[in-house]
Structure 1
């Protein structure tokens, strides 16, 4: 059972300890969060109330952030996925705040990461086509000064999942 507030030490210090039932519940939710509580309880071999209580505790512990529907970009006409590599010569807090605001304001940006290494940021941008990407690019550079931008068009998605691997931390010593 998830231990509320229980953390492990070392590199896993922020990880919540989960038991096998917690891991089964999380795996089911990642596969299909629309499963009924009855069906989830049946699949994990427990009754509804304990399963519901575990889900509630996993939410309270921050393991479950939210439950959403995953949409098909192509069904919505968003057939072009670009990975945008951003290099900047600006590293002051004001620039970073403007860049973050610009990225968060653009619905085309479905992921954004600050990186270590030669590239400062990578954005995953989902749009209809190259013209739509160019409109996104022009808007971005009009809002914030960027030293260098490289856009890479994904030719084929080989794997995409929102499911995280669920580690077994029961053997980790605190």
Structure 2
């Protein structure tokens, strides 16, 4: 279900995505409104599920997490029990930053952030000990060219259904 967003909603969302620590006064000033309407809209956007949890973005390199692997998983298992075990295993592993079920030859892709190749191997060994996997291919990211959490909200005046 798509939320009905007007231009002011979009401007507020753009500001929050840029810096969620801004005060209501700062957001209101930047979007050309006053504090009370901005607060009411943020509250409604949260209630509608447009705004989820708020968090802090950490720098992985500062934390010693220098290796980013994209892990391609193919499985010959497609029953509900296997999938439940696999998903529970992924959710329990803090190294897994993202996991997606795919259409096509590859069943899943994982984004895994670890210190080094040895830490990746430890992750891999733990994964295959938990669930049966047909094939795993790990691709080491040599350089992160773009990474963002900002969604394109189009902070213009056009309403979207």
TM-superposed CA distance for 1:39, in Å, is 0.3
What CA distance in whole angstroms lies between the structure 2 residues aligned with 1:171 and 1:103? Answer: 35
8 Å CA contact retained: 2:71, 2:138 = yes
Deviations 1:21-80 (A, max 9, x none): 000000000000001111001011111111000000000000001111000000000000
8 Å CA contact retained: 2:99, 2:111 = yes
The correspondence for 1:110, drawn from 70, 75, 97, is 97
1:87 paired to 2:74: yes
* Equivalent residues, number: 159
Aligned residue in 1 for 2:159: 170
What CA distance in whole angstroms lies between the structure 1 residues aligned with 2:18 and 2:58? Answer: 14
Inter-CA distance 53–99: structure 2 relative to 1 (3 Å threshold): same
TM-superposed CA distance for 1:17, in Å, is 1.3
What CA distance in whole angstroms lies between the structure 1 residues aligned with 2:99 and 2:160? Answer: 34
Q: TM-score, normalised by structure 2?
A: 0.96
The correspondence for 1:153, drawn from 140, 144, 147, is 140
Report the aligned-residue RMSD: 1.2
SS at match of 1:68: coil
What CA distance in whole angstroms lies between the structure 2 residues aligned with 1:136 and 1:61? Answer: 37
SS at match of 1:43: helix
Q: Structure 1 segments of 4 or more deviating over 3 A?
A: none
Deviations 1:101-145 (A, max 9, x none): 000000000100000000000000000000000000000000000
What CA distance in whole angstroms lies between the structure 2 residues aligned with 1:72 and 1:171? Answer: 34
Structure 1 residue runs without a partner (length 5+): 1-13
1:22 paired to 2:9: yes
What CA distance in whole angstroms lies between the structure 2 residues aligned with 1:115 and 1:109? Answer: 16
TM-superposed CA distance for 1:171, in Å, is 6.0
Q: TM-score, normalised by structure 1?
A: 0.89
Greater RCO, CA 8 A, separation 6+:
2
8 Å CA contact retained: 2:7, 2:159 = no
